[in-house]
């Protein structure tokens, strides 16, 4: 065995275009099946654990390779039938080939594995799923390209900027898909061109549509590389006819060479500057650049459960870090004495303050600042919250923020995470700073058919 290990440090055991058979033993974070040949990993689209497949090697790198399925010798009982192949090949829904109960088990296992990697023995509850795990996304940002002289909308093939045209995004609200298609057809009829990133010519980069799940208010945004949207008034006129729910039609300019989809400059062509939706009995304003959870059905479950696990009391002072437009802050404000939110995005804080006013909430205070810096400042100022909520981006928490929370000495520290890897990493420091994990970690399937998983972890301060 030692001899084999020495060999494969210098020699890769597979070649491009080679055909071979293998058993799928795992799924990657990108939803690809994993086959190992002499401990060398090969990643394969549309292959799930328990299958034996014949594959062709498509790309070979130093430490891993990619392959495609040529035939299935043994099919997994967990394979979902009649799945739209575009959803899998583009990465719209990389787990759509897996039955839903198996998806939930996979996500629970994913969280368990991340904690094992940092040598923490934790209990992870079964993943909470959805009754209907498709057609749930309330927002789409769809790229536009000219293909054979025709303006098309769709999704990029995995790992490329090659657009695969599609009318059905599988995980999006059908009314959102309908809005994208209607907008695409109007642009085609009026002869607008798609932006070409190689030549830096053309007009339309993306179509964005978002819809209130409860309000049924619809917003359409056309993102252009140009400062002017040709035929803007005519587009607005035609969209009003095609989309009865339309409340807001906006032109967004993004003329930078960037992977960021939306620019910061918006012009309302027709209707309102924003739409509204409801969450946990509160009304929220949603602008074109607002961050608002794309699955409001499970978001309500997520926030309700987080508040319940926090054991909130009417006398509590609470801090909500990474507060965005105030969704968590305002949804629990009526359960506590005072709540502070901190968010670095200025427009989000403006929305949060507007949302607080619209909902007649006067015990919430928002600060525009980088969350780690503000938490350190609050700790230095002597703020002593009873409960701290954090819902950070995928990169997780900074060491400084965790130390600041520790200095504040809250009884309860509730960590809502969208990335089990950074959650597990951060848990090591949180425990070292004088907390313990209270009960089981709860995964929630916020994004069915994808590999993403949300979790709620409650930390309690250990008595000194």
Q: 139-279 — its CATH code?
A: 2.40.50.1070
Output phi, psi for 424, to 5 deg.
-60, -45
% residues pLDDT > 70 (the chain): 98
CA distance 387 to 136: 31
Q: What is the DSSP letter of 400?
A: H
As a whole number of angstroms, the distance between CA 438 and CA 315 comes to: 22
Rounded Cα–Cα distance for residues 119 and 111 (Å): 13
* pLDDT in the model for residue 235: 98
Compute the average pLDDT of residues 143-164.
Answer: 90
Please say whether the beta carbons of 423 and 124 come within 8 A. Answer: no
The H-or-E segment that residue 69 falls in is strand 65-74
Bridge-based pairing of strands 282-286 and 275-279 is antiparallel
- Give residue 197's pLDDT band: very low, low, confident or very high (50, 70, 90): confident
The 3-state DSSP composition of the chain as helix, strand, coil percent (nearest 5) reads 30, 30, 40
Cβ count near 86 (within 10 Å): 20
Asked whether the predicted pLDDT for residue 126 surpasses 90, the reply is yes
pTM of this prediction?
0.91
Write out the two tokens for 394. Answer: 């995928």
- Tens digits of per-residue pLDDT, 412-452? 999 999 999 999 999 999 999 999 999 999 999 999 999 99
Q: What is the pLDDT of residues 47-101, one digit of tens each?
A: 999 999 999 999 999 999 999 999 999 999 999 988 888 888 888 899 999 999 9
Q: Is the pLDDT of residue 3 over 80?
A: no
418 as an active site residue: the answer is yes
Tokens matching residue 123:
């209990």
Domains 2-79 and 295-461 share a fold: no
Q: Which CATH architecture does the domain made up of 2-79 adopt?
A: Beta Barrel (2.40)
- Using alpha carbons, select from 423, 334, 408 the residue that is nearest to residue 111: 423
Q: Residue 24 has what pLDDT?
A: 97
For the chain, how long is the longest CA-to-CA vector? 72
Cα Rg for the chain, rounded, in angstroms? Answer: 24
- Report the SS3 class of residue 123: coil
CB-based contact 111:124 (threshold 8 Å): yes
Pairing of strands 204-211, 265-271: unpaired
Helix (H, G, I), strand (E, B) or coil at 9: coil
Residue 410 near residue 458, CB atoms below 8 Å? no
Per-residue pLDDT tens over the stretch 324-351: 999 999 999 999 999 999 999 898 999 9
Contact 190, 204 (CB under 8 A): no
Average pLDDT over residues 36-44: 95
How confident is the prediction for the chain on average, in pLDDT? 93
3-state secondary structure of 4: helix
- Rounded Cα–Cα distance for residues 350 and 208 (Å): 22
User: Is-contact 155 86, C-beta < 8 A?
Assistant: yes
Q: Which fold has domain 295-461?
A: Rossmann fold (3.40.50)
Indicate whether 219 pLDDT > 80: yes
Determine the number of helices (DSSP H) and then strands (DSSP E) in the chain. 11, 23
Two structure tokens written together for 251: 């032109």
Domain residue extents for the chain: 2-79, 139-279, 295-461
Q: Is the pLDDT of residue 157 over 90?
A: no
Which one is catalytic: 369, 418, 428, 440? Answer: 418
Pairing of strands 19-23, 52-60: antiparallel
């Amino acid at each position: 065995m030692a001899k084999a290990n020495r060999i494969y440090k210098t020699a890769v055991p597979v070649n491009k275009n080679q055909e071979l058979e293998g058993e799928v033993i795992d799924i990657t974070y990108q939803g690809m099946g994993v086959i190992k040949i002499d401990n060398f990993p090969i990643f394969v689209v549309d292959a799930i654990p328990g299958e034996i497949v014949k594959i062709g090697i498509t790309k070979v790198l130093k430490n891993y390779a990619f392959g495609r399925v040529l035939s299935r010798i043994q099919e997994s009982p967990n394979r979902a039938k009649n799945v739209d192949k575009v959803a899998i090949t583009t990465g719209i829904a990389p787990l759509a080939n897996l039955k839903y109960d198996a998806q939930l088990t996979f996500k629970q296992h994913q969280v368990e594995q991340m904690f094992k990697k940092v040598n923490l023995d934790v209990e992870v509850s079964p993943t909470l799923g959805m009754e209907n795990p498709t057609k749930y996304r309330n927002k789409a940002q769809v790229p536009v390209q000219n293909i054979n002289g025709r303006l098309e909308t769709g999704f990029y093939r995995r790992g490329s900027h090659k657009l695969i045209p599609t009318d059905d995004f599988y995980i999006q609200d059908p009314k959102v898909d309908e809005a994208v298609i209607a907008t695409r057809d109007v642009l085609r009829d009026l002869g607008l061109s798609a932006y070409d990133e190689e030549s830096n010519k053309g007009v339309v980069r993306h179509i964005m549509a978002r819809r209130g799940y409860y309000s049924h208010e619809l917003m359409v945004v056309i993102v252009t590389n140009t400062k002017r949207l040709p035929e803007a008034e005519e587009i607005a006129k035609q969209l009003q006819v095609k989309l009865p729910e339309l409340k807001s039609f906006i032109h967004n300019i993004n003329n930078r060479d960037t992977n960021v989809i939306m620019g910061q400059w918006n012009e309302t062509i027709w209707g309102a500057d924003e739409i509204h939706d409801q969450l946990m009995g509160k009304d929220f304003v949603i602008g074109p650049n607002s961050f608002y959870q794309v699955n409001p059905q499970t978001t309500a479950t997520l926030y309700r459960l987080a508040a319940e696990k926090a054991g909130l009391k009417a006398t509590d002072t609470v801090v909500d870090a990474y507060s965005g437009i105030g969704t968590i802050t305002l949804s629990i404000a009526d359960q506590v004495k005072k709540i502070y939110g901190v968010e670095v995005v200025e427009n989000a804080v403006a929305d949060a303050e507007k949302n607080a006013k619209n909902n007649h909430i006067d015990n919430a205070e928002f600060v525009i600042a980088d969350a780690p810096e503000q938490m350190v400042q609050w700790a230095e100022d002597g703020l002593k919250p009873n409960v701290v909520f954090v819902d950070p981006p995928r990169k997780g928490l900074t060491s400084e923020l965790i130390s600041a929370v520790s200095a504040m000495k809250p009884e309860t520290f509730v960590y809502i995470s969208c990335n089990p890897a950074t959650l597990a990493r951060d848990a090591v420091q949180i425990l070292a700073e004088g907390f313990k994990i209270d009960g089981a970690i709860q995964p929630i399937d916020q994004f069915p058919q994808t590999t993403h998983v949300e979790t709620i972890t409650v930390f309690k301060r250990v008595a000194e």
